[in-house]
């Protein structure tokens, strides 16, 4: 029995994780659920999965939930203190972190310190604090199991192969809804346009990031830490069909890839049951129906999110935090209609140019850099 704490239970990854639990009730138990403020959704999850703990990051939401589920006797926690408590409860052995943003860093560190394996779907944890997370996980002897489809594919393609024989990581991207467009085409694109992802069902923030290739840039930074590879050995490949989820090229020229239909439940289940594989009653890949696969080079002149991400990653230190924080602020503004699409790149670039890099930031410095970036862009 795998006993999990799920952070971000009402988001896209969170709800699909609960689908996996539904399909494996004898082997997966939800010990804790955490969300931000969607009280009614969490109440429904609590009554179905009967966790021992639940945390609402929003204090008022926690008070409302406490009233709604007072008949259950389940402990209700709140805020960052609640997240830190729920990830360290002794009953759990795995924490699946699916929150969006740097809110995931401190709970992940606490979970590792508590000896929990991490099923990781929060990009910012490694983007901003990979230099802290990976050595800590090694010290504590816990597994970091990737949930993102691309990193799961790389992880699977590395299985049984010597790490020192890896020549290149091939990180695939669908290209998003704006694939093939040029700068002039993007000037008047709206949030509604950017949210029309052709293949994946994701939350609004991640979908916008996919359209700008910022998401792929964040995944490059993640891959660097997860698989201990140089940035020069990570190549992004646009693959519109999203069938090859990523691949690894070895020194002898062999390429091992993981293929499948676009369905996040597969990497979620793989992370939760690793190293085992369990049956899934989902659609199978039909190569005859598919017919062909195509590949393109990313257009980094139009979609500057990827090139800016490489710049931030090469600078290292606190610069990836600036990249991430500036993008978060820009995406929020774009979704509210306060800025135009291309201004997302402008805000990231301005923030990076303004920042005085810190070489090896601790968690306090990472969070301070995030706030400083917000303050600078708010002027």
Same domain for 320 and 221 = no
> Mean pLDDT, to the nearest integer, of 57-73?
96
Same domain for 171 and 105 = no
* Residue found under tokens 């239909």: 261
Smallest CA-to-CA distance from 344 within 209, 218, 238 is with: 209
How far is the C-alpha of 315 from the C-alpha of 357, rounded, in Å? 8
Smallest CA-to-CA distance from 195 within 172, 176, 174, 219 is with: 176
Task: Assess whether pLDDT exceeds 70 at residue 30.
Answer: yes
Secondary structure element (H or E) that encloses residue 164, with its range: none
356 in any annotated domain? yes
Same domain for 163 and 133 = no
Is 159 exposed, middle or buried (CB count within 10 Å of its CB: 0-12, 13-18, 19+)? Answer: exposed
How far is the C-alpha of 108 from the C-alpha of 216, rounded, in Å? 22
Final residue in a domain of this structure, among 114, 146, 178: 146
300 in any annotated domain? no
Same domain for 329 and 244 = no
- For residue range 279-316, what is the model confidence (pLDDT) as tens digits? 998 889 999 999 999 999 999 999 999 999 999 999 99
Same domain for 126 and 73 = yes
30 in any annotated domain? yes
> Mean pLDDT, to the nearest integer, of 124-143?
97
Q: How many domains does the chain have?
A: 3
Residue 55 in tokens: 């945390």
Q: Please, which pLDDT band fits residue 200 given cuts at 50, 70 and 90? A: low
Same domain for 277 and 175 = yes
- For residue range 158-173, what is the model confidence (pLDDT) as tens digits? 999 999 999 999 999 9
CA dihedral over 206, 211, 216, 218, signed as positive or negative: negative
Domain range enclosing 269: 151-293
pTM value is 0.94
Task: Assess whether pLDDT exceeds 70 at residue 213.
Answer: yes
Q: CATH code at 335? A: 1.10.1740.10
Q: Please, which pLDDT band fits residue 136 given cuts at 50, 70 and 90? A: very high
Smallest CA-to-CA distance from 318 within 351, 349, 359 is with: 359
Q: How far is CA 2 from CA 5, 41, 95, in A?
A: 10, 24, 10
Q: Are strands 53-56 and 75-78 parallel, antiparallel or unpaired?
A: parallel
Final residue in a domain of this structure, among 146, 178, 204: 146
Q: Please, which pLDDT band fits residue 47 given cuts at 50, 70 and 90? A: very high
CA dihedral over 63, 64, 65, 69, signed as positive or negative: positive
- 94-103, 145-154, 232-241: range with lowest mean pLDDT: 94-103
Same domain for 253 and 220 = yes
Task: Assess whether pLDDT exceeds 80 at residue 120.
Answer: yes
Same domain for 155 and 141 = no
Strand order in the sheet with 117-120: 75-78, 53-56, 28-35, 2-7, 94-97, 117-120, 144-146
Percent of the chain with pLDDT over 70: 98
CA dihedral over 41, 17, 150, 57, signed as positive or negative: positive
Work out the angle between the directed axes of helices 319-335 and 343-354 (0-180°, nearest 10). Answer: 150
99 in any annotated domain? yes
Same domain for 44 and 100 = yes
Same domain for 64 and 191 = no
Final residue in a domain of this structure, among 111, 146, 181: 146
């Amino acid at each position: 029995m795998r006993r999990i704490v799920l952070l971000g239970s009402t988001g896209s990854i969170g709800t699909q994780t609960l689908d996996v639990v539904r399909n494996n009730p004898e082997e997966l138990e939800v010990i804790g659920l955490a969300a931000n403020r969607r009280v009614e959704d969490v109440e429904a999850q609590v009554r179905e999965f009967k966790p021992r703990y639940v945390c609402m990051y929003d204090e008022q939401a926690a008070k409302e939930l406490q009233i709604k589920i007072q008949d259950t006797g389940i402990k209700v926690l709140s805020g960052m203190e609640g997240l830190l408590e729920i990830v360290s409860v002794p009953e759990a052995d795995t924490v699946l972190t699916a929150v969006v943003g740097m809110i995931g860093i401190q709970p992940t560190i606490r979970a590792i310190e508590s000896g929990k394996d991490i099923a990781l779907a929060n990009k910012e944890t490694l983007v901003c604090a990979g230099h802290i997370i990976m050595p800590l996980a090694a010290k504590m002897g816990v597994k970091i199991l990737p949930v993102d489809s691309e990193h799961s594919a790389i992880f699977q393609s590395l299985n049984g192969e010597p790490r020192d024989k890896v020549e290149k990581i091939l990180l695939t991207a669908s290209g998003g809804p704006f694939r093939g467009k040029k700068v002039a085409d993007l000037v008047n694109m709206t949030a509604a346009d950017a949210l029309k992802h052709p293949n994946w069902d994701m939350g609004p923030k991640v979908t916008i990031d996919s359209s700008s290739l910022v998401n792929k840039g964040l995944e490059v930074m993640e891959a660097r830490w997860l698989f201990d590879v140089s940035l020069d050995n990570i190549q992004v490949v646009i693959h519109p069909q999203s069938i090859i989820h990523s691949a690894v090229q070895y020194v002898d020229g062999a390429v091992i890839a993981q293929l499948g239909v676009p369905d996040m439940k597969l990497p979620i289940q793989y992370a939760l049951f690793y190293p085992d594989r369990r049956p899934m009653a989902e659609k199978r890949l039909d190569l005859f129906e598919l017919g062909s696969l195509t590949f393109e080079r990313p257009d980094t002149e139009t979609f500057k999110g990827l090139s800016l991400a490489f710049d931030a990653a090469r600078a290292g230190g606190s610069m990836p935090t600036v990249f991430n924080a500036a993008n978060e602020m820009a995406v929020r503004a774009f979704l509210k209609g306060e800025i135009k699409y291309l201004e997302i790149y402008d805000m990231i670039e301005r923030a990076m140019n303004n920042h005085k890099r810190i070489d090896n930031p601790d968690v306090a410095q990472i969070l301070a850099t995030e706030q400083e970036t917000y303050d600078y862009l708010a002027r």
